[in-house]
């Protein structure tokens, strides 16, 4: 599929996904399933922690969903209720989340569910946030029209794709992950800058999503992990 076709896929829809929503509310069967998934994740954590809320966010809680979108399910917790060392708790939750998402392929109507344990005090930038627990909108998304700078997006996607290939090839030769880490940070900062300036429909966020849908972001992480593992092996 061409880059221009992928750009068009990110244009906003007129309605929320009819697979998941009905009259601006989560379908009861979807809500029940998401709550069941969140409960399974909390049991998996193996610690006693109060769940403040369970929220559904991301593209499928908005009008800009694509065939590549997943369901972002956030478990809202207060790290201080677990331990005073907040950094330790956050690292624990991050590790457990990553292991869960890597190990499980849970889908709702063939849409992948991505779990995230979120600090109640952590800001989350999204125009669509739905409380699955309370069955109501926290931030209701607005319909909008958008015009992408297709030439800029195409140029940047090609630029980063070439850069990713170059860095991966260089890392294969040097067995050094510094360049990979620098590029990962550069791409992450680009996306964050776009989210802060133009929201989810910024050119920068669309560039990131196209790179991710093509598997290029994952290739960087896979090479980084491979080098790390080999270096520690005997």
At 203, is the secondary structure helix, strand, or coil? helix
Between CA 200 and CA 194 the distance in angstroms is 8
pLDDT band at 29 (very low <50, low <70, confident <90, very high): very high
What residues contact residue 134 under an 8 Å CB cut-off, 6+ apart?
53
| Overall pTM surpassing 0.85 (yes/no) | no
Average pLDDT, the chain: 90
Domain ranges of the chain: 20-139, 150-231
Answer whether CATH 3.30.460 is correct for domain 20-139: yes
Which has the higher per-residue pLDDT, 84 or 187? 187
For 166-172, what is the mean pLDDT?
Answer: 94
Handedness of CA 19, 20, 22, 24 (dihedral sign): negative
| pLDDT exceeds 80 at position 160 | yes
């Amino acid at each position: 599929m061409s880059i221009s076709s992928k750009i068009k896929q990110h244009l906003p829809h007129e309605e929320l996904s009819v697979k998941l929503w009905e009259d601006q509310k989560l379908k009861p069967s979807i809500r029940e399933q998401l709550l069941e998934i969140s409960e399974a994740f909390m049991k998996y954590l193996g610690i006693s922690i109060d769940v403040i809320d369970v929220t559904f966010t991301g593209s499928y809680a908005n009008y800009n969903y694509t065939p590549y979108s997943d369901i972002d399910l956030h478990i809202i917790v207060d790290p201080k209720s677990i331990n005073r060392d907040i950094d330790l708790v956050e690292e624990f939750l991050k590790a457990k989340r990553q292991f869960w998402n890597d190990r499980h392929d849970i889908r709702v109507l063939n849409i992948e569910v991505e779990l995230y344990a979120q600090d109640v005090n952590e800001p989350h930038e999204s125009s669509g946030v739905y409380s699955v627990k309370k069955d109501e909108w926290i931030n209701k998304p607005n319909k909008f029209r958008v015009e992408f700078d297709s030439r800029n997006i195409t140029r940047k996607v090609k630029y980063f794709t070439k850069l990713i290939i170059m860095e991966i090839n260089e890392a294969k030769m040097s067995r050094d992950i510094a360049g990979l880490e620098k590029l990962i940070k550069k791409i992450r900062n680009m996306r964050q800058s776009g989210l802060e300036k133009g929201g989810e429909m910024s050119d920068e966020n669309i560039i990131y999503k196209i790179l991710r849908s093509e598997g290029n972001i994952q290739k960087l992480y896979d090479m980084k992990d491979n080098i790390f593992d080999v270096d520690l092996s005997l």
